[in-house]
Structure 1
Amino acid sequence: MYLNRFHKINSTFNYVSLHIRRFLVTQNVNKVALYFHRARLIDSIRLALRSNSSDNLVTYLENPSLDSFVVTKALQSAPSPESALHLIECLKKIPHFSHTHNTLYALAKILAKARETAKLQALINAINSGKFINTPRVSYMDQMRWYAISGEFNDVVRVWDEWRTTLRKHPCTESYNIVMGLYVQVGKDSDAVRLFRRMIEEGALPNCRTYTIMIEHLVKTRNLDSAIELFHMLPHVRIKRTLKQYSVLVEAFTIANQLDVVKVLLDQMRSDGILPVRAMLWSLQQMQSAGYDAETNELLRDMLPDGRIKMIGYSMDSSEDDSDDEDEEIDGNNTNAVDQPHLKPWLDPASLANALQNWGAEEVTALEDANLVWTSRLVCKMIRSFKSAETAWQFFYWVSCQPGFIHDIYTISRMITKLARQGCVDLVDQLLSKVEREGIRLSFSTIRLIIDFYGISRYGDPALRVFKSIKTICGPVSKSSQLLLYSSLLRTLIKCKMNSDALDILDEMSLLGIVPDSQIYSGLMNHFALHGDIKTVQRLFGMARQSGIEPDAYMYKVLIHAYCKCERAALALRVFEDMGNSGLLPDAHTKQLLVKSLWKEGKLLEAASVEERTEEISDALPLASPGHMFTVSSTDLSRICNIYSNSFQSTCS
């Protein structure tokens, strides 16, 4: 007991003294220079982990610069779970090192990959018991992620069930994704489909990762037609299509020799402003061999290894004086280096961007001295990682002056959306003017993002200007894409309280023959109801029906909630009656809200009537009315459920 107490006191002393020392050392340090110093140490550890000598690894770990950042990144870049665990063992010999939240979580992930479930559970228990200083309890989500990595399905479900008992509503969407992904992994098709239905029924909204899991599942079971149908539905339900989804589908249709479909996917990927990854290299080479040169040449050129990026090799000399030699390319003809590993230098754009936040002269000089090879992909990652749009803009201008680098549509798009997100209107206008002058066409997705981000930063007029110049900066846009742009614009305008402009845009859509979908009407009706503009709400409801849209359960729910919030329970009751006449049921929460509002406004008989009408069917009331304003309707979710379940009809039945 006394030894344990001494160990805890000693660990506390080491932790405090270490951080005091680092605080004093780093007060005036150049953060960029510190980043590259750490990077060289990380590279040394990476190479040592790939060698056969433990002595060299311990020597590098004894470096005074070793801290939790270096250890975390070294663990994450270890070649295997076994080598990472070896690194953890070697760290026990380093008296000045103490684990932090980041290193412990990196260790947990490694234990999960190594399937060391007992050790993982012991680590979680140790963290939760407060054994480690300044490390909070492990969340249910992190536990689920780690057990999922280790393939321990029963532990994932156990943690999920335990978490659900602590919640009033459904858990987050990502928790469903984890369980659903495990079902797909072990081949439980019907269970995956049932869990997706359960997610919808409980009111959780699927996100892009949910659809990625579904697409991977459909591809894995050779349901390619269903996979591409689901993929083409994503823009309609306002879900961003991801690089992972494109990669999975491109590979699947290349293997199936349906190269025309691959061509369409590559065109859509370019339209979405997404850069390809090395995983697509084989598919693109197959396309090129089949004669699709125009579609693949540019993409292949961006994916080939950049000869300007030198490799690092393992050096037996660990002296500080020779640290610069680690960045030199090893001669392949050197017989002493034949069996030695060759790696790209370690680089973390997010950490480098964080070191550059102040953008001072010393930091910029250190960045220039590093002689990094700037590619479009790296610049995009850097821009995304900057917290400040102003710093990102300074970097954007600086990197344009670096030898061998020219901004392209990807870096320009990333910069424009970053500026729009933080409301830098003048800089956005400046970049858009340059784009227009030089005849560069931005992707439709970029324009839509600008409009969406202006809604977040509350700049309605600039969003209108961008929308009206769509043809000059984007080119022709299809009617389906125009609908999405109008949806984003309307949402931005009501966020900016530009109600009259929003109604004018709605009239403009009617004149152009672009019919708003039920998501748009639901969002607009909710907004105007909350502002007490009942006449406009009723007008919108009438417009929806005149355009052929049959209100679904979610639209009725939106109206009932909105009327109740603005204390118009009589109107909410009328909507409830219309809902019943349409053969639809409200979810339990909506029914309770209506009854409570009627009671509050003194309409006791009406409240009793609602209770009486729903008493016999109370068990049949849905838990939630699936859908979301401006994004997805109940009808869309039902269609997606049908696409997914029909692909596994035999197993689900």
Structure 2
Amino acid sequence: MLHNFRWIRALSKQVVLHSHSPCPHYNTLSSHTHECKHEFSVVHFNKSIDALCKSGNTNKAWNLLHSAITKRLPVDVVSFNALLNALGNGGDLCRITFVLAEMEEMETHPNVITYTTLIKAFCKGCRMKEAHELFHKMRMTHCFPDIVTYNTIIDGFCKKGRVDEASVMVAQMIKDGFSPNIITYSTIINGLCKANGEDEALRLVAGMRCVHLSPDIVTYNTLIDGLYKVKRVNEALALLCKMIQDGHVPNTCTYTSVIDGFCKARKTHKAYNIFVQMMKFGPFPNEMTFSAIIDGLYKDGRISEAWDCFHNIWRKGLQLNEITYNYQVENRGCFPNVVTYNILLSALCKTREIRRACEVLDEMELRGLKPNEVTCSTIIYRLCKAGDLGSAHLLMNKMIHNGMAPDVVNYNVLINGYCRARETDKALKLFANMKIFGLTPNLVTYKALIGTFCKEHKLNLAFTMLDEMRGKGLFPNVFTYNKLFCGLRKIHDLRKTFLLMNQMQKQGCVASDTTVKILSWLVDFGQLEKLKDFVNNNSVYYF
């Protein structure tokens, strides 16, 4: 019995039973649970539960199994395992705990498949503590793990970056009489590469050969990708040659790693040559390949080639589609995805090719793809810089419509743009919208508005903004003070000027040469001594 699963009972209370998605034969299967026990076939019932789970009807399988349990029919561990596996694949850890509670009540003992399934589910759900606890509990109940169990928990540790703990599990595995297989080695090698342990990974590959194991294409791809990511290009190429010598044919993942590696090493001519060969002879590139080559070309300043590459990809895809390769092309990743588009948009914005960026954005929307927040922010910034505030504002509204939340930076860019264009009403409307959406204006926001109000001789509004920002614990910098001093100079308001000078001193904000130059008008009004006091950091009073 599962004596140690007390936490299951607590969690199982959270479960709400629900069922949808029709399943053929479900009514027939369900009626079986109304028959007498002696007519109940465990074998057929197990097959029914397994079929429902494999066809994606997990809720139907859940209800059917629960119905059998309620009627105290002799359900065995096989049906439980099938349902646990389906729930684990769907990430439904809550209902998994409920099923375990049912097993305990029925005194159905979990076997090695049960435990392995549970460990896999908890690893997938990033709950390594529970997975590790289950591993130890199965040993305590004399249900000993097999090599699949070991590989499952080793993979879980590696994916969380806990390679040392994965290595401890390998040692335990060997102690229990299991020899690490190709899956074990590939998993550890992948974990080491992600943790920047490429040297250790290379030694592990050499160790594989000592135990008469040869790396498969997954192992090679993992290590080649890891070496390229740390710019160890020559070693990666040597390993690629060794891979081919061992009889493995490089696939799309292999070539994508090579292309990405060359791009990161600023050897885009080699990367582009490989990409062209892939387009001609295969294997066909996927989205990751497209993204890597376009990103590399743009970063290397080869804008025209990247642009041509992007559209050649699309034209190639349409051509293949017309030659009845629709299914193969779509599943082989012929069309650029969101990542590819975002890389292209970001690159176009950096090179200030706003017109092209907007064309790509329109095309992206036609394909049913949505740019991310970073890309939209970049385009909004460039559009504002180019003075196209209407398009920038429209894009921000699209972001909100598509469920993206513009941040303070987005609002500041657009507010600053409207302030520069002297469209103060629109800037204030955006300022109000920020607060409606729960965003807090920062120093940049207030600086833009205060500066504009000063230029437009709306000093009352400028000082209202000053009071508001101070009320929120924000204090103006020397640039904001200079804007205010400029506004006061235009109307020769001595009293407010001296008060502001005094506030600036109390705040500890140091005046710049520009500040003194702006305040030089005080000399014409016989206030040279006051200006000297201010420069010498003495208090300035108005009498």
TM over 0.5: no
TM-score, normalised via structure 1 length? 0.36
**Which structure shows the higher helix fraction?**
2
The structure whose RCO (Cα within 8 Å, separation 6+) is larger is: 1
TM-score, normalised via structure 2 length? 0.43
